[in-house]
Structure 1
Amino acid sequence: MTAACRRTALVLAGSRRREADPVARCRGVPHKCLAPAGGVPLLERVLTALAASPHIGTVLVALDEPALRADLPTAQALEAEGRLRALQAAPGLGRSVLDALALAPTPLLVTTADHPLLTPAMLDAFLTQAETTGADIVAGFVAKRRVEACYPSTRRTWLVFRDGAWSGANLFALQSETARAGIAFWQAVEGERKRPWRLARRLGPAFLLAYACRLLTLDQALARAGRRLGIRLAAAKLPMAEAAIDVDKPEDLDLVERILAARTPASV
């Protein structure tokens, strides 16, 4: 893939909490993105996956303290290549995405620093699907049955539809300027991202009823939500259970470390 075909990636690495993050606190670091997983900071693992992907060119990192990148080898290497730019994280995730869109044109990949199991293969699977949809925004999902078959003890936020339950994968492809309308909606509801019922209610009583009665598949729900917002939404359904595992709690980090310990050195 030529450099001209590569897309910019945004890593959301700022804090979502006003109080001290429990993951940072339990690992004795000032910011969650610096919490070690298998001895490597969460953010460093995400940057390593992005740097190795042929789909990714420039990497933007939204940080509470942009100088934090100085302690991360992959960040230093990307910066030396002219491929990394650190941004001041905004108070909300949606605002940080809009700030990035002011600097980088679409298509833009968005992921988070608490996604340490991210791999180039995962990125390839997601972006390959995203490019075929023609949608303005594509979100990554993993089926509950796949996650629980591999990691039955993990606790995720599940979105339940007619075709089963799904977890988000912290991967988003913003593929046109029209995507800004979707980000504006996300700004309004991001505090409710762990409460599917409230999100459904925000899209109107008809959508809430359809969600409550499980009348819609995941694809149908996204299509209907997109029509409500005036954009095209689509799902990329990933086969990797690990794509659904991010680090919100100390027990999530414990699970990530067990998964990393079980991998062969070549796959870490």
Structure 2
Amino acid sequence: MSAPVLILAGSRPDGLDPIATAEDVPHKALARVGGLTLLERAVAAARAWGASEVLVAANNPAVEDEVRRLGATLLPTASGPSGSVALAFERTGAPLLVTTADHALLEPGWLAALVAGTPADADVSLMLARREAVEAAAPGSQRTWLSLADGDWSGCNLFYLASAAAPTALATWRRVEADRKRPWRIAARLGWGTLWNFLRGKLTMAEAVARIGQRIGITAALVAATDGRAAIDVDKPADLALVRALAEAQ
């Protein structure tokens, strides 16, 4: 099926970004991999998947110019990523796929896998990658891991808002992202029974995602990435060097 794809390309609140500084560009979305800007690569992947429209939330003048050059739809940003997604969702409604401009290795197949892997009754879904898959695809890659009963997981910056109830999840997902290095806090949001299962090493990632959804009154689902490269975004110069090497090898 086709759906709009939103690419988040907002600026950091402090205006500082190590990639922009290292690459001497106004915004990290304008750093280049394989001759293309990061934003251009994300837009191309969305179009190759068959997006009905490609939208970019940006607030940097140079990035806004790049959005226009690429022929994508420019949208305003909010105070944070989840707010920007909420603004876009008001325009598009469901369904809506969401990713980020620094997803330099994004492939159409990952978008297709997220949609296909989302249960029919789910309001939202997100893609995560197992540590084994990431390390197989990119040995030595430094990621932030969530450790649960079924192993270590890393986010893939890929979300699917499948129903009109999806915006209910945005505030909660923002808090989960803020606590990504403190998984016990994520479990605590789900109630004492779930926290107890986490402490006993009995809580799986799929259960955690589902229970977060239940807690806020929606159905949420995990879609596991089969390609570990889906978890590699560009937050620091070492990440950029890695994706350049992977893109060249590919």
What's the TM-score once normalised by structure 1's chain length? 0.86
Match of 1:29 among 25, 30, 39: 25
Given the superposition, is the C-alpha separation of residues 71 and 16 from structure 1 closer, same or farther in structure 2, using an over 3 Å criterion?
A: closer
C-alpha separation in 2, matches of 1:190 and 1:142:
15
Total equivalences in the alignment: 250
| Aligned residues of 1:66 and 1:86 also touching (Cα < 8 A) | no
Task: Please say if 1:158 is aligned against 2:141.
Answer: no
Q: Which residue of 2 aligns with 1:129?
A: 117
Given the superposition, is the C-alpha separation of residues 52 and 125 from structure 1 closer, same or farther in structure 2, using an over 3 Å criterion?
A: same
Given the superposition, is the C-alpha separation of residues 16 and 206 from structure 1 closer, same or farther in structure 2, using an over 3 Å criterion?
A: farther
Given the superposition, is the C-alpha separation of residues 36 and 196 from structure 1 closer, same or farther in structure 2, using an over 3 Å criterion?
A: farther
C-alpha separation in 1, matches of 2:13 and 2:34:
24
Q: Which residue of 2 aligns with 1:76?
A: 69
| Cα deviation 1:165-204 (Å, max 9, x = unaligned) | 1111111000111111111223445433444333333334
Task: Name the SS of the counterpart of 2:52 in structure 1.
Answer: strand
Task: Name the SS of the counterpart of 1:30 in structure 2.
Answer: coil
Match of 1:146 among 114, 133, 143: 133
C-alpha separation in 2, matches of 1:125 and 1:186:
21
Task: Name the SS of the counterpart of 1:109 in structure 2.
Answer: strand
Q: Percent of pairs identical after alignment?
A: 43
Given the superposition, is the C-alpha separation of residues 208 and 250 from structure 1 closer, same or farther in structure 2, using an over 3 Å criterion?
A: farther
Task: Name the SS of the counterpart of 1:71 in structure 2.
Answer: helix
Report the more deviating stretch, 222-231 or 43-52: 222-231
Match of 1:222 among 202, 209, 218: 209
How far the C-alpha of 1:107 sits from its partner, in A, is 0.6
The aligned amino acid for 1:242 is R
C-alpha separation in 1, matches of 2:82 and 2:142:
25
Q: Which residue of 1 aligns with 2:97?
A: 109
C-alpha separation in 1, matches of 2:174 and 2:146:
19
Task: Name the SS of the counterpart of 1:157 in structure 2.
Answer: coil
C-alpha separation in 2, matches of 1:157 and 1:208:
21
Given the superposition, is the C-alpha separation of residues 187 and 149 from structure 1 closer, same or farther in structure 2, using an over 3 Å criterion?
A: closer
C-alpha separation in 2, matches of 1:66 and 1:51:
23
| Aligned residues of 2:123 and 2:162 also touching (Cα < 8 A) | yes
Report the more deviating stretch, 179-188 or 26-35: 179-188
The aligned amino acid for 2:26 is P
Report the more deviating stretch, 219-228 or 237-246: 219-228
Q: Which residue of 1 aligns with 2:167?
A: 180
How far the C-alpha of 1:66 sits from its partner, in A, is 5.8
Given the superposition, is the C-alpha separation of residues 191 and 162 from structure 1 closer, same or farther in structure 2, using an over 3 Å criterion?
A: closer
Q: Which residue of 2 aligns with 1:209?
A: 196
The aligned amino acid for 1:61 is V
Q: Which residue of 2 aligns with 1:261?
A: 248
| Aligned residues of 1:95 and 1:187 also touching (Cα < 8 A) | no
Gaps of 5+ in 2: none
Q: Which residue of 2 aligns with 1:15?
A: 11
Task: Name the SS of the counterpart of 1:94 in structure 2.
Answer: helix
Gaps of 5+ in 1: 264-268
C-alpha separation in 1, matches of 2:127 and 2:249:
25
Q: Which residue of 2 aligns with 1:59?
A: 54
Match of 2:86 among 98, 110, 122: 98
| Aligned residues of 1:66 and 1:88 also touching (Cα < 8 A) | no
Task: Name the SS of the counterpart of 1:103 in structure 2.
Answer: helix
What's the Cα RMSD here? 1.9
